[in-house]
Amino acid sequence: MDCNFKTQAALSKTGLIRHGEEKVPKAIYSIWWDDNLGPSVGRSYPEMDSLTSEEALIIFMGHGVNREAEIGYSKLPRGLAISYMKPPNCIAILLDQEDNASAIERNLLRLVKYIDFNSDKWDTELQRAFELLHELIDETSGAGLLTNPGVKKLVEDMLEKRVSVITPKHVLRASVRYPDAYDYFGTDDDEVVRILKDLEEEDILVSRTYGRRVECRQCGESDLIVELLCPRCDSNDIHKVYTLFCPKCSNQFHAVLMDDIAEVTCLSCKQPVKVSELAILDVEPLCNHCGTASNDPRIVFRCASCGKHLRGADLLAGTGLAYYQK
């Protein structure tokens, strides 16, 4: 059988290829924070149904009192709005009832990289953004997703059993970011750091110490993983007993969550619950070695690259850098 045909068939079965009309958001808005007026609606596209100032305020509040959350959700009488905050600017998307909110959120995050927040032609900027959003949605859903060569290869590799699972690595990123520089160099953190170093090399900027950063003294990396050890015998053979909330019967129950399970059965109502829908209320680590149950296990940081047990010097010896005009 033709590989491509098999891939199509596999995707059809998963519902990844939908037939019929594509679902799209209804409108996009740009909103500004004005220190005197509060949130004021900048532009809308399509233009006919712009937001009221009350709606703009609701959207701003969706980002927290200090506008600290990057993504906000707000329920307006006309529908759900998902917004992206980059103070003082905010971009909001009004969803259609049928829209998949989490897919729109992912595409909004993709979209904002292409929006020029300093544009002096917001009419055209916003129209361009709305069209680009549609392109992004087409590319990342339904048949469009399959035209991505990487997606095609992954589905084929899984069909041919060359790859059986995509596993996560749970890494804490002690990453360095310079949000002040986003307006100039974009939001790719690694690229921003490279440009700042270029500028220092060219004697335009000079760096000075600023705080401490995590840096493994063995390999220089800043990513870390957390490990729990028994506080009594230092064993890392620890079971975690979870207190879970069942969304089906609203009762609590205990379970040990092993790897590689897709659902657990609620002990109260005996119904299966998807692990992605479980709410975890509490966790109690239980040592398999000495039997100690403790809510206060020993926490150890390891370097995510080389596995070194990170001590205080690794966690605090790296030098953070701030950049000044030379």
Residue 27 CB, shortest distance to Zn ion, in Å, is 40
Nearer to Zn ion, 24 or 249 (CB): 249
| Rounded (to 5) percent helix, strand, coil in the chain | 30, 30, 40
Nearer to Zn ion, 255 or 321 (CB): 255
Nearer to Zn ion, 243 or 305 (CB): 305
Nearer to Zn ion, 3 or 172 (CB): 172
Q: Which two tokens stand for residue 48?
A: 């006919």
Report the candidate in 301, 300, 281 with the shortest Cα–Cα distance to residue 241: 281
Nearer to Zn ion, 81 or 287 (CB): 287
Residue 225 CB, shortest distance to Zn ion, in Å, is 11
Residue 258 CB, shortest distance to Zn ion, in Å, is 19
Report the candidate in 81, 323, 57 with the shortest Cα–Cα distance to residue 200: 323
Nearer to Zn ion, 93 or 174 (CB): 174
Q: Do the beta carbons of residue 145 and residue 192 sit within 8 Å?
A: no
Residue 289 CB, shortest distance to Zn ion, in Å, is 4
Residue type, 138: D
- Could you give the CA distance from residue 63 to residue 72 in angstroms, rounded to a whole number? 5
Residue 19 CB, shortest distance to Zn ion, in Å, is 35
Largest CA distance in the chain: 68
Residue 263 CB, shortest distance to Zn ion, in Å, is 12
Contacts with Zn ion by CB under 5 A lie at 216, 218-219, 221, 230, 232-233, 235, 246, 248-249, 266, 268-269, 287, 289-290, 292, 303, 305-306, 308
Nearer to Zn ion, 125 or 314 (CB): 314
Residue 231 CB, shortest distance to Zn ion, in Å, is 8
Residue 282 CB, shortest distance to Zn ion, in Å, is 17
Residue 216 CB, shortest distance to Zn ion, in Å, is 3
Distances in Å between the Cα of 57 and the Cα atoms of 28, 135, 203 are 16, 29, 44
Q: Do the beta carbons of residue 201 and residue 305 sit within 8 Å?
A: no
Nearer to Zn ion, 71 or 306 (CB): 306
Report the candidate in 129, 32, 29, 116 with the shortest Cα–Cα distance to residue 74: 29
Sequence-distant (6+) residues with CB within 8 A of 9 are: none
Nearer to Zn ion, 106 or 232 (CB): 232
B/e letters for 100-119, b = 16+ CB within 10 Å, e = fewer, are: eeeebbebbeebbeebeeee
Q: At what angle do helices 101-112 and 122-139 cross, to 10 degrees?
A: 130
Report the candidate in 313, 306, 319, 318 with the shortest Cα–Cα distance to residue 219: 306
**Where are the extended beta strands (E) located within 139-218?**
172-173, 205-213
